[in-house]
Amino acid sequence: MTKGTQDLEMLRHSTTHIMADAVMQLFPNVKLGIGPAIENGFYYDFDMEHVLKPEDLPKIEAKMKEIIKKNLKFEKREMDRKEAIQFFKEKGQTYKVELLKKLDDANVTIYQHGDFVDLCKGPHVNFSKKIKAFKLLSIAGAYWLGSEKNKMLQRIYGTAFPTKEELEKYLNNLEEAHKRDHRRLGKELDLFSIHEECGAGFVYWHPKGAMLRSIIEEFLKKENLKRGYEFVAIPHIAKIDLFQTSGHTGYYKENMYFMEIDKQDYVIKPMNCPGHITIFKRKLISYRDLPIRYFEFGTVYRYEKSGVLHGLLRVRGFTQDDAHIFCRPDQLMDEIHKVIEFVDFVMKKFGYEYKVILALRPEKFVGSPESWDHAEEILEEVLKKNKIDYEPEPGGGVFYGPKIDIKLKDALGRLWQGPTIQVDFNLPERFDLTYTGEDGKKHRPVMIHRAILGSLERFIGGLIEHYGGNFPLWLAPTQVAILPLADRHNEYANNVAEELQKQDFRVTIDTRSEKIGNKIRNAEVEKIPYMLIIGDKEMEAKKVSVRKHGKGDLGQKSVKEITASFVKEL
RNA sequence: GCCGAUGUAGCUCAGCUGGUAGAGCAACUCAUUCGUAAUGAGUAGGUCACCGGUUCGACUCCGGUCAUCGGCUCCA
């Protein structure tokens, strides 16, 4: 940690103490939860009768300013832990008592400013006047100690900076981030919608969004083919038996949709693996056939709690670029290596930075601990061999195997779960998958689940924010807008459009009887990468005027010249 | 699922303490044929999320449901 971030943390931590002080002064019977500094600010959790409303925030801010003005000293005190328990008990701060009881230390520190005392490691700023720029941002509910089983407390989020200018800048950035929100851009650019009357968490792709999706699908199909994957396709509904065999009805039940057909139990697939396995099992497999790599854009449906749905990033029906690799144990490492290379290739294509996480055995798991250890070792070895930086995450694996998760960083630095590579020793066992070895005996293959994008919905949601809706030429649903100045230019404009379409460019032509300024504005708002403006001068010169989105006029060019430059840009 | 907020025209939003609704943009029609981010005029568009209650009368008050938003928990 650098000196700067340490100072910032100290400032924010001190600000949250002031906020807690203000809340306690304004409302009766406030019990304090915890109040740490976080990445972009701070929060404090409160348990109190008064239900916080947005209107309360300015009042709390005003009280905070009053407190700060007094320029109170932050004083540190050491206390015997038992003494501290007694101290907070007397104050009725039961949450602090609970925290103290969990600590092992003989001594604890408490910080005080004015009449406000809090259990706290510190450090803090020395005087309250050091706090110069802060803002309370939002109110939220949060479970005590982050557990669903505990009481829900009221949390106030805020942020603080050393100077007013830095605070302003942060708030502006927040606003900019809001403008890039894929839900907002999805509406503005007419890409997709989700409808109350059709069901929460189910996405309707409009022509432009579906085009974007299809471009990504085509790209991925080609790249999967190049790498020896074969396409398969499976039904969305299956008898429950299939998922009983796989174990999903046991471990994944709360996320599955069940239905009845002809008095028999069926499910809507929450995962594609059992389907791909069924195809693998259709015949005897020789060791010479392996590895077998089955790929599909597989749509799955999973029940997600109503409160967690979020635009395209968390939905109830989504399509994974899913593949299952069946291989011999001796091929495992090489296959994982190839998948990692594939991931790297695709992420570079989209300009994503990413972070690699090695997710290890969770509490709920199937299979033996030994097979888990073995799989975890192999993943770790591949990462080390390829000198890939990764973060281990104990307990982060799915129930059927450890995985390498790749989190994508968008332009705002937020991380999204994207590609995932999972080793599975369990399903081959459950489905009794075998291949015939060189020795003529049956052997057990190993399975790898992998998705490069993860889910198309989530990936595209992230992509919209990553580019802020300004898609590169190869992804833009509409690449070129042709804008004739007046009706007499329409014929020539149509010819240009046809010529571009013949070369597979996605073109729109605006023949409305509007002024050119209006047409340009329209195309700019739609974030179409190129505009071709056609008037008398262009017709005469047999050229078009090129205008680039966000950049402006590039001057006259012939159609040949622009298609050549487009091809280069792709 | 939990805590809180919100739900008015395709979109963005007005509508004080109860008397069934407006604006801008978009759409449509007409005029205009224009040189690099909004031409003008007109027309049409709403069971005020849904269900129930209170009331002579509900967009407005009360209850429930659904959905969205900010979080928590959980996850691709």
Give the pLDDT confidence of A210-259 residue by residue, as tens digits: 999 999 999 999 999 999 999 999 999 999 999 999 989 988 899 999 99
CA of A83 to C1' of B4 (A): 37
Q: Structurally, what CATH architecture does the domain formed by A3-172 represent?
A: 2-Layer Sandwich (3.30)
- Position A184: which residue type? R
Q: Is A6 a catalytic residue?
A: no
Tell me the two tokens of residue A563.
């298609």
What single DSSP character describes residue A73?
Answer: B
From CA A471, how far away is CA A185, in angstroms rounded?
A: 12
Which residue, among A1, A8, A2, has the nearest Cα to A170 in the 3D structure? A8
C-alpha A165, offset from chain centre = 30
Query: Could you tell me where in chain A the CATH 3.30.980.10 domains are found?
Result: 3-172
**Contact status, residue A484 vs residue A493, Cβ threshold 8 Å:** yes
Task: Indicate which residue of A322, A405, A410, A424 is catalytic.
Answer: A322
Distance CA A441, CA A109 (A): 67
Mean pLDDT score of chain A, rounded to an integer? Answer: 92
If you ran DSSP here, which 8-state letter would residue A217 be given? H
- Is the pLDDT at A269 greater than 90, yes or no? yes
- Mean pLDDT confidence for A325-348: 92
**Mean pLDDT across the stretch A388-412?**
80
- Identify the CATH assignment for A212-467 out of 3.90.180.10, 3.40.50.280, 1.10.10.10, 3.30.930.10: 3.30.930.10
Measured CA A58 to C1' B17 distance, in angstroms? 25
pLDDT score recorded for residue A411: 60
Spatial CA neighbour of A343 closest among A408, A296, A397: A408
Which of chain B's bases lie under 7 Å from a protein CB? 1-5, 7, 11-12, 31-39, 49, 66-76
Mean pLDDT, residues A532-556: 95
Per the annotation, the verdict on A154 as an active-site residue is: no
Q: Which of A113, A302, A407, A547 is catalytic?
A: A302
Q: Which two tokens stand for residue A506?
A: 């996605």
Q: Which residue is nearest to nucleotide B69 (CA to C1')?
A: A310
Burial of A438 (0-12, 13-18, 19+ CB in 10 A): exposed
Task: Please state the rounded mean pLDDT for residues A533-541.
Answer: 95
Nearest-angstrom CA–CA distance, A91 and A77: 17
Query: Whole-number Å distance, CA A361 to C1' B62?
Result: 51
Nearest to A340, CA basis, from A362, A328, A358, A318: A358
Cα–Cα distance for residue pair A341/A339, rounded to 1 Å = 5
Q: Could you report the per-residue pLDDT of A88-124, keeping only the tens digit for each?
A: 999 999 999 999 988 887 788 999 999 999 998 878 8
**Whole-number pLDDT of residue A143:** 95
**pLDDT tens per residue across span A276-306:** 999 999 999 999 999 999 999 999 999 999 9
Residue of A155, A180, A248, A324 marked catalytic: A324
Give 3-state DSSP helix, strand, coil % of chain A, rounded to 5.
40, 30, 30
| Strand-pair category, A230-231 with A192-194 | unpaired
SS (H, E, C) A389-406: CEEEECCCCECCECEEEE
ipTM above 0.90, yes or no: yes
Confidence band of A367 (pLDDT split at 50, 70, 90): confident
Q: Which residue has the tokens 């409009």?
A: A206
Each residue's pLDDT tens digit, A122-175:
788 888 888 999 999 999 999 999 998 999 999 999 999 999 999 999 999 888
Distance in angstroms (rounded) separating the CA atoms of residues A280 and A511: 54
For CATH 3.40.50.800, the residue range(s) in chain A are 480-569
CA of A45 to C1' of B16 (A): 36
Is residue A449 among the annotated active site residues?
Answer: yes
**Residue A499: HSE in the Cβ half-sphere, 13 Å Cα cutoff:** 17
- Where exactly does CATH 3.30.930.10 map onto chain A? 212-467
A480-569: CATH superfamily: Anticodon-binding domain (3.40.50.800)
The DSSP secondary-structure symbol of A126 reads S
What average pLDDT does range A538-562 have in this prediction?
95
